[in-house]
Structure 1
């Protein structure tokens, strides 16, 4: 029902924006065309109807239809969440909202992607004969008490993989730190960088820069903190330094929701930059014209590559860590039977 309600609300918003000619940016200096907005509205209505149909007993063609609609709508909505981390950083640094409609579009896409994913997961479990709630095969209703697994940390393989991925932050964070401290890198003088960023920075951003920490690097550090929570045991039971909450179980969705919502868009955005920068360097794509404080095209191309490695590494690391956390913390219905080989 929640997914169906989202579909109606999403379609109503998109149609209203299309008919009134409201500008809804999807990237810098580009807006959603009216035709795309109407297509998204129709897709949202179809997805909502498919979610309602998924709760009923369907024939094979009916199940195939639901799977097709969800399989088309989910990737479209996921791509539409790419701007979420950028909006998060601007809000967290009190830099203001660049576009209210752009932020609303990203939030609507994010909510839809989350709901459709949950519906698709429930359908997949039901088709396998498993409980749509806990994913395990068992008799009885799916609304009984839940049994939580013992506290555990991520496997060594997962920890190593995440460490390798977040290593992509090093070049980007290093260059930003050099600039913030007044040094020169990639043909950009630290003084020029500070002058331009100070002109557009908010109070918190200026405060962090005064001690040599770029605000975006600070945001990346918050992402690393979330990664540690997903990998370590204190992400499942509140540690002693939380005082009042110490010893209590951490709500499972508390770290998972921000991890998924930031990890997937960051990974997609970073992957685009990682591919785009080398193609630009060899001339396959048009050269990126340098804009202040950059003085050369090569400098801004390198910075795009460093940013891609950082965003893709951190985003993919969050996704990998969240997948491990979700598997290790997934509760099961108290009456669930051990899974039998298939």
Structure 2
């Protein structure tokens, strides 16, 4: 009698399908977990009377925090509902809940660039709860966007992972397209939008180099900057570099990477990484997270300044280093053009990059080895 040893592959418990490990599968559960944590934080802050600022000299009221907690729980429930088969009315309710809550939490990311600059320059964080609120809003907006995107693709009959119709489950290896450059129209639009930085960056550079602009003397500007700046910011200012202009330059660098092939394949000057494919989310995450808040913040300033200049809104009282109301109003307009211009340019470039680099998932069944009969 011949004893045949047991085959561990046959006796082993069945493995979960690879599709369960793709982002369309885990994103709804992650969003539901975020919703519970977010609601717990908001309710705790509201009950304890914790100050959570949403802008300078303004904080969330406890009632608003409780409303945000309720919206987060609604969003979490809607995300879990996308994993089930829904009828017509159910689809409409879930879609509405996702779109409304997504918009709310996107607006809540508004202060992210400001916190980024203060952290980058080691200037310190004015409010830990304010930073936590912005980060929670950002995480929620990202997860809700993923769930909304995969749900919409699934309803269209496309693969929720890659967005293209194909046979079989979307759990196979990803096929990435070749590196390409954005279209001429996209590049022209992005370059035109980023020109909005010039008046704002120009005025700050003039002050740091010793010139006067908008009724502000260079000595007054440098004194004001040095008074509230950290060590690295003061060191940069001493050689004529404004840290906010430097941060904008990093944004322009990111913009160029999104528009050109070297943002998809590491160029030769990256030495050890040269020739390797750039992870798709590496430029997209900072582009979306920076572009959306900058666009919202800049749009408000662009609209606000003309209303002040024409007397529709009261004039801004000048504060050091500004000596006139008109000077600070012009700076508000310059800031709006800079922030909105760079933000919109990043969004235009990110949209093009997203389309040009979207991979296609190959059904795993076509890659699994077949067993030949012995």
How does the TM-score come out when normalised to structure 1? 0.97
C-alpha distance in 1, partners of 2:164/2:104? 30
Equivalent residue, structure 1, for 2:347: 319
Number of residue equivalences: 336
Equivalent residue, structure 1, for 2:286: 258
Q: Does 1:171 align with 2:203?
A: no
TM-aligned CA deviation for residue 80 of structure 1:
0.7
What secondary structure is seen at the aligned counterpart in 2 of 1:225?
helix
C-alpha distance in 1, partners of 2:221/2:160? 53
Match of 1:27 among 30, 38, 55: 55
C-alpha distance in 2, partners of 1:289/1:122? 49
Q: Does 1:304 align with 2:332?
A: yes
Q: Counterparts in 2 of 1:49-128, with a 5 A limit? A: 49-128=77-156
Match of 2:276 among 215, 231, 248: 248
C-alpha distance in 2, partners of 1:295/1:155? 45
Write the deviation string for residues 211-268 of structure 1: whole angstroms up to 9, x where unpaired: 1111100000000010011011110011111111111100000000000000000000
Q: Counterparts in 2 of 1:318-337, with a 5 A limit? A: 318-335=346-363
Write the deviation string for residues 192-218 of structure 1: whole angstroms up to 9, x where unpaired: 000111011111111211111111000
Equivalent residue, structure 2, for 1:340: none
Q: Counterparts in 2 of 1:171-320, with a 5 A limit? A: 171-320=199-348
Range that drifts further, 312-321 or 207-216: 207-216
Q: Does 1:40 align with 2:68?
A: yes
Q: Does 1:144 align with 2:172?
A: yes
C-alpha distance in 2, partners of 1:335/1:161? 37
The answer to whether the Cα contact below 8 Å between 2:72 and 2:101 also exists between their aligned partners in 1 is yes
Write the deviation string for residues 279-318 of structure 1: whole angstroms up to 9, x where unpaired: 0111111111111100111000000000000000000000
What secondary structure is seen at the aligned counterpart in 1 of 2:54?
strand
Equivalent residue, structure 2, for 1:339: none
Any unmatched runs of 5+ in structure 2?
A: 1-28, 365-374
Match of 1:5 among 14, 33, 38: 33
The answer to whether the Cα contact below 8 Å between 2:170 and 2:363 also exists between their aligned partners in 1 is no
TM-aligned CA deviation for residue 334 of structure 1:
2.0
The answer to whether the Cα contact below 8 Å between 2:265 and 2:278 also exists between their aligned partners in 1 is yes
TM-aligned CA deviation for residue 335 of structure 1:
4.5
C-alpha distance in 2, partners of 1:235/1:102? 33
C-alpha distance in 1, partners of 2:42/2:75? 15
C-alpha distance in 2, partners of 1:306/1:153? 30
Range that drifts further, 327-336 or 191-200: 327-336
The answer to whether the Cα contact below 8 Å between 2:171 and 2:363 also exists between their aligned partners in 1 is no
What secondary structure is seen at the aligned counterpart in 1 of 2:303?
helix
C-alpha distance in 1, partners of 2:345/2:235? 29
What secondary structure is seen at the aligned counterpart in 2 of 1:26?
strand
The answer to whether the Cα contact below 8 Å between 2:158 and 2:165 also exists between their aligned partners in 1 is yes
Equivalent residue, structure 1, for 2:26: none
C-alpha distance in 1, partners of 2:317/2:56? 15
Match of 1:155 among 178, 183, 202: 183
C-alpha distance in 2, partners of 1:204/1:219? 13
- State the superposition RMSD in angstroms: 0.9
The answer to whether the Cα contact below 8 Å between 2:54 and 2:60 also exists between their aligned partners in 1 is yes
Any unmatched runs of 5+ in structure 1?
A: 337-342
C-alpha distance in 2, partners of 1:324/1:19? 45
What secondary structure is seen at the aligned counterpart in 2 of 1:248?
coil
